[in-house]
């Protein structure tokens, strides 16, 4: 006998749980099916655990710099992981409470789509299968690390980003394969823990999606801090030796390390969902949807990592609201990722949104505003003056079309630019606001003013 709901959601990550809560707020009866843990990769293995460790290491590092009395000079992996687990458990309990408050049914199991209004769930706790009927279905199954044939993970010597928190002890040396956002974050974590770090990236620069100037600045800083960076090469062979893992690059160079961590991208979790039998189209490894996030089957929607667009937790949450509003809300909505910010929790942090300087210039006339943190009072007071804010605007209208920040609190500051872009603001409109002094946010305002050569705290534009 089937159980009947207004909405069935497959996956309980940021996309799934956001969709469930919003649908419940709008009066729907909701069931969510999750095969692993409530909160998905973001809460349990990705965003939250990595940022917990990064922030804790940052605090210890700052305390050492100012020689605060009573600060320990060593940080153990065990204590970091304990802190990480505490944060995860607290947040998961919070989600469980929200589910109970909103009367959302949570089922532990693996789901398959049977048709436009039915899913079949293999219960994790029993051999039984359960049938759920729903007026609408949302697929929010997230993603998993890509596995390269030459770098098959064994959980001990070669691991992926999801396995990194299973480490029993720190290696002496590590090779991070993949110089994107996750690779750069893990490189910084290992460096701060005293590990010798190597980082290899296939393209000509680390952070291939970042502004070229920002990527270069980060690479210089990482190299100065002791991270060995290899660009424009790939891993062609890996062999286990008595003294470690010997890795051969495509240029024939060899290095030997204790651990290899692969972070070369992620792929959508769309296997074994019954998509083909349900008639749901797949395109380039992801579920095909329109701008309303509808699949090719009426009443079935898909969101987050399993559809086109950046694989980001906040993108999944954004998708979730769009899908639910289209299912239950009064106004139909379309997904628009123009003002979707991206953050990298490197040292220094990086935030970016919209068009990069290079691509904007190739598409038409633009104006660039730039302001260095070295000229900012709050950055001087904080003892962190690395980096700058860069604003890209249309030359004729002054409309903000891109923002790129490297420096202190960049991952927070970029949201100001994203908000301005979402509201189609010009640099002059943004700069009319009064910003408190002394704050890091003043750097964003000054960069906006600099688009027209009007920044107060730096020299006149030539």
What global pTM score does this model have? Answer: 0.93
Here the tokens at position 96 are 């469980």
Neighbours of 277 (CB within 10 A): 11
DSSP 150: G
Each residue of 272-294: pLDDT tens digit? 999 999 999 999 999 999 999 99
Neighbours of 276 (CB within 10 A): 10
pLDDT band of residue 374 (cuts 50, 70, 90) is very high
Handedness of CA 148, 154, 155, 159 (dihedral sign): negative
Here the tokens at position 249 are 């690059």
**Chain centre to alpha carbon of residue 109:** 26
pLDDT band of residue 128 (cuts 50, 70, 90) is confident
pLDDT band of residue 3 (cuts 50, 70, 90) is confident
Domains, the chain, ordered by start: 3-144+267-327 (3.50.50.60), 149-264 (3.50.50.60), 342-450 (3.30.390.30)
Handedness of CA 328, 333, 336, 342 (dihedral sign): negative
pLDDT band of residue 15 (cuts 50, 70, 90) is very high
pLDDT at residue 60, as a whole number: 82
Question: 437 catalytic, yes or no?
Answer: yes
- DSSP per residue, 253-312: -EEEESEEEE-S-EEE--TTS-HHHHT--EETTEE---TT-B-SSTTEEE-GGGSSS---
pLDDT at residue 69, as a whole number: 59
259-262 and 266-268 beta bridge pairing: unpaired
Query: What 3-state DSSP class applies to 21?
Result: helix
Each residue of 55-98: pLDDT tens digit? 999 888 877 776 655 555 567 888 899 999 999 999 999 999 99
Average pLDDT for residues 359-386, to the nearest whole number? 94
Please give the Cα distance from 177 to 161 (Å, whole number): 11
Residue 334, classified by CB atoms within 10 Å of its CB into exposed (0-12), middle (13-18) or buried (19+), is: exposed
Degrees to nearest 5, angle at CA 432 with 427 and 437: 110
Please give the Cα distance from 439 to 428 (Å, whole number): 20
**Chain centre to alpha carbon of residue 234:** 23
Q: Minimum mean pLDDT among 75-79, 155-159, 301-305, 394-398: which range?
A: 75-79
Mean pLDDT rounded to a whole number for the chain: 94
Q: Please tell me which residue in 198, 314, 404, 437 is annotated as part of the active site.
A: 437
Please give the Cα distance from 180 to 171 (Å, whole number): 22
**Chain centre to alpha carbon of residue 130:** 34
pLDDT at residue 64, as a whole number: 72
């Amino acid at each position: 006998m089937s159980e009947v709901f207004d909405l069935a959601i497959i996956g309980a990550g940021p996309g799934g749980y956001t969709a469930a809560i919003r649908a419940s707020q709008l009066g729907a009866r909701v069931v969510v099916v999750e095969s692993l843990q409530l909160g998905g990769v973001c809460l349990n293995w990705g965003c939250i655990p990595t940022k917990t460790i990064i922030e804790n290491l940052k605090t210890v590092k700052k305390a050492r710099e100012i020689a605060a009395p009573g600060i320990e000079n060593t940080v153990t992996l065990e204590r970091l992981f304990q802190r990480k687990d505490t944060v995860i458990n607290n947040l998961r309990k919070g989600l469980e409470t929200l589910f109970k408050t909103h009367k959302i049914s949570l089922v532990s199991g693996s789901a398959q789509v049977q048709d436009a209004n039915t899913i079949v769930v293999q219960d994790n706790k029993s051999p039984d299968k359960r049938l759920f009927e729903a007026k609408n279905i949302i697929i929010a199954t997230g993603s998993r690390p890509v596995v390269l044939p030459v770098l098959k993970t064994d959980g001990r010597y070669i691991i992926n980003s999801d396995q990194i928190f299973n480490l029993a002890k720190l290696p002496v040396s590590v090779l991070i394969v993949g110089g994107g956002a996750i690779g750069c974050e893990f490189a910084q974590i290992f460096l701060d823990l005293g590990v010798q770090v190597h980082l290899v990236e296939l393209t000509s620069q680390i952070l291939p999606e970042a502004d070229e100037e920002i990527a270069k600045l980060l690479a210089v800083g990482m190299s100065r801090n002791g991270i060995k960076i290899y660009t424009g090469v790939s891993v062609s062979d890996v062999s286990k030796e008595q003294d470690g893992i010997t890795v051969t690059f495509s240029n024939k160079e060899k290095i030997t390390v204790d651990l290899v961590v692969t972070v070369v991208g992620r792929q959508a979790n769309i296997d074994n969902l019954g998509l083909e039998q349900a008639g749901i189209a797949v395109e380039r490894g992801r579920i095909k949807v329109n701008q309303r996030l509808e699949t090719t089957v009426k009443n079935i929607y898909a969101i987050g990592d399993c559809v086109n667009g950046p694989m980001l937790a906040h993108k999944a949450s954004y998708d979730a609201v769009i899908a639910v509003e289209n299912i239950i809300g009064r106004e139909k909505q379309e997904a628009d990722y123009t003002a979707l910010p991206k953050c990298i929790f490197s040292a220094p942090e990086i935030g970016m949104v919209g068009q990069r300087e290079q691509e904007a210039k190739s598409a038409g006339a633009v104006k660039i505003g730039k302001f260095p943190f070295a000229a900012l009072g709050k950055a001087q007071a904080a003892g962190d003056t690395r980096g700058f804010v860069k604003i890209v605007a249309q030359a004729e209208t002054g409309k903000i079309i891109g923002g790129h920040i490297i420096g202190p609190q960049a991952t927070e500051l970029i949201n100001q630019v994203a908000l301005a872009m979402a509201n189609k603001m010009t640099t002059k409109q943004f700069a009319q606001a009064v910003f408190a002094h002394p704050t890091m946010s003043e750097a964003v305002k000054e960069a906006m003013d600099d688009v027209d050569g009007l920044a107060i705290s730096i020299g006149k534009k030539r």
